[in-house]
Amino acid sequence: FQSWVQPFIIMFTVPLATFGGFVGLAVVHSMSLNDRYMPVQNLDVLTILGFIILAGVVVNNAILIVAQTNNLMKGVDDSGNEIEALPAREAISEAVQSRVRPIFMSMLTSVGGMLPLVLTPGSGSELYRGLGAVIVGGMIFSTLFTLLLVPVLLSLVLGLQKRFSKDSSITVKAALVS
């Protein structure tokens, strides 16, 4: 991204996903406490592996938004054709609009693939129930907040970068005049 700040915006989604993973695990844990035939679901090694998988998957959604925003600000559309470069806020809005469907498609396939691990009983299901709960909870939670918070953070960062670049150009012009 040729920026030190934009990767931090992307990495901001990982704590949100982690929180969602703990919420998903808490829901499954409370369900297992209420059903005496279901083994109690606790934090175990496979559940921790679910957090690692989750961290790798959720950053893709934020990458889609940030990369598309950068392309639109440079004047490149989805096909790689040149278009008129958009201002930052319009680029962010257009990027979210054009990437919301792929984001929801990836979230729904991940959640749909993991729901059988969480919901189906049977021998050996207790082994992967925590992993599925972490990924399902984390994906749902992080997708919603990625679509809300990443554009806001990106707008703030791009606005600050624009402001500081204007201030530095003014001081450089003032120094050249005097």
Q: Which of 139, 116, 133 is nearest to 48 (CA)?
A: 133
CB 115 within 8 A of CB 14: no
- Distance of CA 160 to CAs 74, 88, 92, 155, 157, Å? 18, 11, 15, 9, 5
* Placement of tokens 């829901």 in the chain: 27
Phi, psi of 10 (to 5 degrees): -65, -45
CB 65 within 8 A of CB 99: yes
The predicted-structure confidence for 64-111, as pLDDT tens digits, reads as follows 999 999 999 998 887 778 888 889 999 999 999 999 999 999 999 999
- Distance of CA 91 to CAs 44, 134, 135, 158, Å? 43, 33, 30, 11
Which amino acid appears at position 95 of this protein? A
122 by Cβ neighbours in 10 Å (0-12 / 13-18 / 19+) ranks as exposed
The predicted-structure confidence for 15-48, as pLDDT tens digits, reads as follows 999 999 999 999 999 988 888 877 888 888 999 9
Q: Which residues pair with 76 in a beta bridge?
A: 82
Distance CA 83, CA 142 (A): 32
CB 136 within 8 A of CB 118: yes
Which amino acid appears at position 80 of this protein? G
The predicted-structure confidence for 100-140, as pLDDT tens digits, reads as follows 999 999 999 999 999 998 888 877 778 889 999 999 999 99
